[in-house]
């Protein structure tokens, strides 16, 4: 794990001069943010178990890395596509580590004054049918309010044969919500977030953390993930996420 963290920070600082960044996720759920046209975004995320499971074993950490690219040049309608290479410490899943994602969004105030940002997209489109094909589609709306910050709400729906609970029953849909805010009163580089995804599958979680912007194109999130169904998702995790734009 120390080697993984060292690698993420080396990558982050070695490219700190290149360009500038906008995140397209919160801590756990997607956001209504989107990569600007021709911007290549690289995310490097790790999730580490802090405690053993009740049977004394400890689940392997999850590590993923992948690019996302902005593909539309318009201001009021934007889109991004990308993929992740994800390793979860599961021999069956890790044979097929590629997952694709895409999103279309419109920013706040683009439709009318005080209109929310709206995003429609999908992620975790795997390549092995019935194993990695979570095939999650979602819709989100978000609005930034003075003092309060940004509030986001939406819903997701995924593959009923893959997103299941510990009994094998479908757990493939649920709400998404988040609050996030740049803490300008303290430092413009500091960002706080709490997000939530409902489901009895391994996606269900409450997550909270903070981000620090080291350079205009580089930020790092430190967070904690509380899973709603530990019987299938396992013990809670700590997460380190590095976001870089080129």
- pLDDT at position 26 is 94
- Assign 3-class secondary structure to 130-142: CCCEEEEEEEEEE
- pLDDT at position 73 is 96
- pLDDT at position 56 is 86
Tell me if the pTM is above 0.85: yes
- CATH number of the domain located at residue range(s) 2-245 in this protein: 2.40.160.40
- pLDDT at position 20 is 30
- pLDDT at position 12 is 34
Shortest CA distance to 230 belongs to which of 88, 94, 55, 86? 55
* Domain residue spans of the chain: 2-245
One pLDDT digit (tens) per residue for the chain, 246 residues:
434 333 333 333 333 323 332 238 999 999 999 999 999 999 999 999 989 998 888 888 999 999 999 999 999 999 999 999 999 999 999 999 999 999 999 999 999 999 999 999 999 999 999 999 999 999 999 999 999 999 999 999 999 999 999 999 999 999 999 999 999 999 999 999 999 999 999 999 999 999 999 999 999 999 999 999 999 999 999 999 999 998
Judged by DSSP in three states, 86 sits in strand
Spatial contact of 144 and 179, defined as CB atoms under 8 Å apart: no
Sign of CA dihedral 51, 242, 88, 32: positive
- pLDDT at position 24 is 83
């Amino acid at each position: 794990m120390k080697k993984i963290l060292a690698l993420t920070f080396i990558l982050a600082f070695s490219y700190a001069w290149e360009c500038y960044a906008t995140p397209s996720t919160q801590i756990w759920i997607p956001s209504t943010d989107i990569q600007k046209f021709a911007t290549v975004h690289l995310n490097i995320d790790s999730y580490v178990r802090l405690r053993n499971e009740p049977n004394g074993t400890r689940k392997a950490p999850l590590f993923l890395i992948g690019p996302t690219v902005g593909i539309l040049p318009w201001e009021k309608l934007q889109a991004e596509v990308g993929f992740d290479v994800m390793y979860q410490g599961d021999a069956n899943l890790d044979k097929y580590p590629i997952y694709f994602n895409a999103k279309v969004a419109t920013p706040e105030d683009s439709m009318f004054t005080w209109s929310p940002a709206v995003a429609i997209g999908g992620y975790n489109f795997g390549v092995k049918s019935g194993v990695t094909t979570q095939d999650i589609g979602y819709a989100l709306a978000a609005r930034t309010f003075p003092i309060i910050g940004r509030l986001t709400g939406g819903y997701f729906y995924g593959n009923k044969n893959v997103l299941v609970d510990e009994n094998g029953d479908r757990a493939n849909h649920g709400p998404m919500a988040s609050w996030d805010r740049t803490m300008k009163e303290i430092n413009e580089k500091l960002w706080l977030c709490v997000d939530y995804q409902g489901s009895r599958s391994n996606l269900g979680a409450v997550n909270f953390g903070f981000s620090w912007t080291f350079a205009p194109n580089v930020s790092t999130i430190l967070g904690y993930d509380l899973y709603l169904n530990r019987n299938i998702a396992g013990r809670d995790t700590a997460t380190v996420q590095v976001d870089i734009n080129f």
